[in-house]
Amino acid sequence: MPKKLLLNDKSVDFFKKVSELSGEVITLCDQCGTCSGGCPIIDEMDISPSQLMRMVMLGDEEVMDTKTMWLCATCNTCTVRCPRELDVSKVAEALRQIKLRQSFDKINIDKIPKEDLKELPQIALVGAFRRLTS
C-alpha cells in the first residue's frame, strides 16, 4: 500500500538535523542507485543506501528504526562512486549520532561472549565502540 508522507515542521526539522550533522546536501541525491549497487553489505540491510537517502530527504523519521544505519561499515565504496559526490556513510553516521547522543548503545560490552573478547583485536573493538556506542 502506498505510504502517505506528510511534510510538516517535524519532518523538516529532522531533515535539517541530518543535513547539519552529516554536512551533506542530501537533496542533491538523484536516486540513481549507484550507492546501493556497489554496497557490500546490502544483502543484510533492510533498506538500501539510496532508500536511506530518500527517506532522509523526505524527513521520514522511520528511517531511524532501520538496520541500515547500523550496518554501514564506512567502506566508502559508494562515496567514491556517487555521481553527485555525496557521502552516504556520513548520512548514516548522522542518523547514528542522533540515537547515540541520547545515551543509546548499540552494542554492550557485557553481552559480547568472553571467547569473542579474547580473540578480537583491539582495532576491531575500538572501531566498533567508536561507531556504535555513545
Partner 1 sequence: MKIPYYPGCTLKSTAKHFEISAIESAKKIGIEFVELPRWNCCGVVASLADDDIMHNLAPVRNMIRVLEMNRDGLVKDEKRLLTLCSMCFNTLSRANNRIKKKSDDLDILNDFMYKEDIDYDGSVEIIHFLEIIQELGFDKIEKNVKKSLSNLKIAPYYGCMLLRPKDVGIDDPERPTIFEKFITSLSAKPVEWNNKNKCCGSFLTVDNKEIVVELGNDILTDAKNSGADIIVTSCPLCAFNLDNRQKNIKAKYPEFKEIPVVYFTQLMALAFGLSKEITGFDGNFINPTKLLKSKNIEI
The residue ranges that bind partner 1 (CB under 8 A) are 20-23, 40-41, 43-44, 71, 73-77, 79-80, 87, 89-90, 93-94, 97, 106-107, 112, 116, 119-128, 130-132
Tell me the C-alpha distance between 57 and 18, whole Å. 9
112 binds, among partner 1, ligand SF4, none (CB under 5 to 8 A by kind): partner 1
13 binds, among ligand SF4, partner 1, none (CB under 5 to 8 A by kind): none
Q: How far is the CB of 95 from partner 1 (least distance, A)?
A: 10
Following DSSP, what letter does each residue of 9-69 receive, concatenated? HHHHHHHHHHHHHH---GGG-----HHHHH-TTGGG-SS-HHHHHHHHHTT-GGGGGSSHH
User: Quick one: which of 23, 31, 101, 117 contacts ligand SF4 (CB under 6 A)?
Assistant: 31
Q: Cell for 97?
A: 549520532
Residue 106 burial class via C-beta count within 10 angstroms: exposed 0-12, middle 13-18, buried 19 and up: middle
C-beta of 117 vs 127, nearer to ligand SF4: 127
> What residues contact 124, with CB distance under 8 A and at least 6 apart?
none
User: Quick one: which of 77, 93, 95, 96 contacts ligand SF4 (CB under 6 A)?
Assistant: 77
- In the complex, the residues that contact ligand SF4 under the rule CB under 6 A are 29-35, 38-39, 41, 49-50, 53, 72-78, 82-84, 86, 88-89
